[in-house]
Amino acid sequence: MSTDGEYFVMLTTQSRSYTPLMDSNTDGTDIARFDSEQEARAAAENSLLGEIFCYEVFQVGMGL
Protein backbone atom coordinates (compact mmCIF):
# COMPACT_ATOMS: atom_id res chain seq x y z
CA MET A 1 0.00 0.00 0.00
CA SER A 2 1.18 3.49 -0.78
CA THR A 3 -0.05 6.96 0.10
CA ASP A 4 0.51 8.16 -3.44
CA GLY A 5 -0.09 5.00 -5.47
CA GLU A 6 -1.90 5.14 -8.78
CA TYR A 7 -4.56 2.50 -8.04
CA PHE A 8 -7.52 2.34 -5.67
CA VAL A 9 -10.39 -0.06 -5.03
CA MET A 10 -14.13 0.44 -4.93
CA LEU A 11 -15.95 -2.34 -3.07
CA THR A 12 -19.51 -3.37 -3.83
CA THR A 13 -21.74 -3.41 -0.75
CA GLN A 14 -24.65 -5.66 0.13
CA SER A 15 -27.07 -2.96 -1.06
CA ARG A 16 -25.22 -2.83 -4.44
CA SER A 17 -23.73 0.58 -3.77
CA TYR A 18 -20.00 1.27 -3.68
CA THR A 19 -17.56 2.26 -0.98
CA PRO A 20 -13.81 2.81 -1.26
CA LEU A 21 -11.35 0.43 0.37
CA MET A 22 -9.96 2.47 3.25
CA ASP A 23 -6.37 2.53 4.51
CA SER A 24 -6.35 0.75 7.86
CA ASN A 25 -3.06 2.45 8.75
CA THR A 26 -4.84 5.83 8.96
CA ASP A 27 -7.73 4.75 11.19
CA GLY A 28 -9.92 4.53 8.10
CA THR A 29 -9.66 8.22 7.25
CA ASP A 30 -7.83 7.85 3.91
CA ILE A 31 -8.59 5.83 0.82
CA ALA A 32 -6.10 2.99 0.33
CA ARG A 33 -3.87 3.51 -2.70
CA PHE A 34 -1.58 0.97 -4.33
CA ASP A 35 1.47 1.07 -6.58
CA SER A 36 0.19 -1.68 -8.87
CA GLU A 37 -3.10 -3.12 -10.06
CA GLN A 38 -2.04 -6.52 -8.70
CA GLU A 39 -1.54 -5.08 -5.18
CA ALA A 40 -4.97 -3.43 -5.34
CA ARG A 41 -6.64 -6.68 -6.45
CA ALA A 42 -4.93 -8.68 -3.70
CA ALA A 43 -6.09 -6.20 -1.04
CA ALA A 44 -9.65 -6.21 -2.41
CA GLU A 45 -9.78 -10.00 -2.45
CA ASN A 46 -8.60 -10.05 1.17
CA SER A 47 -11.42 -7.73 2.29
CA LEU A 48 -14.79 -9.06 3.39
CA LEU A 49 -16.81 -6.98 0.91
CA GLY A 50 -14.43 -7.71 -1.95
CA GLU A 51 -14.52 -11.42 -1.29
CA ILE A 52 -18.31 -11.66 -0.99
CA PHE A 53 -19.77 -8.89 -3.18
CA CYS A 54 -17.03 -8.03 -5.71
CA TYR A 55 -14.91 -4.96 -6.37
CA GLU A 56 -13.46 -2.75 -9.11
CA VAL A 57 -9.89 -1.45 -9.39
CA PHE A 58 -9.36 2.05 -10.82
CA GLN A 59 -6.30 3.99 -11.89
CA VAL A 60 -6.10 7.61 -10.73
CA GLY A 61 -6.52 10.01 -13.63
CA MET A 62 -8.02 7.45 -16.01
CA GLY A 63 -11.70 8.38 -15.55
CA LEU A 64 -14.03 9.85 -18.13
Enclosing domain of residue 45: 7-59
When divided into structural domains, the chain yields a total of: 1
Name 33's Cβ contacts closer than 8 Å, sequence gap at least 6: 1, 2, 3, 4, 5, 6, 7, 8, 23, 60
Within a domain: 64 = no
Within a domain: 47 = yes
How many residues comprise the chain?
Answer: 64
Within a domain: 51 = yes
- pLDDT tens figures, 18-41: 999 999 888 878 999 999 999 999
Within a domain: 1 = no
Share of the chain above pLDDT 70, in %: 92
Give the predicted TM-score (pTM) of the model. Answer: 0.85
The answer to whether the beta carbons of residues 59 and 40 sit under 8 Å apart is: no
Within a domain: 15 = yes
pLDDT at 21: 96
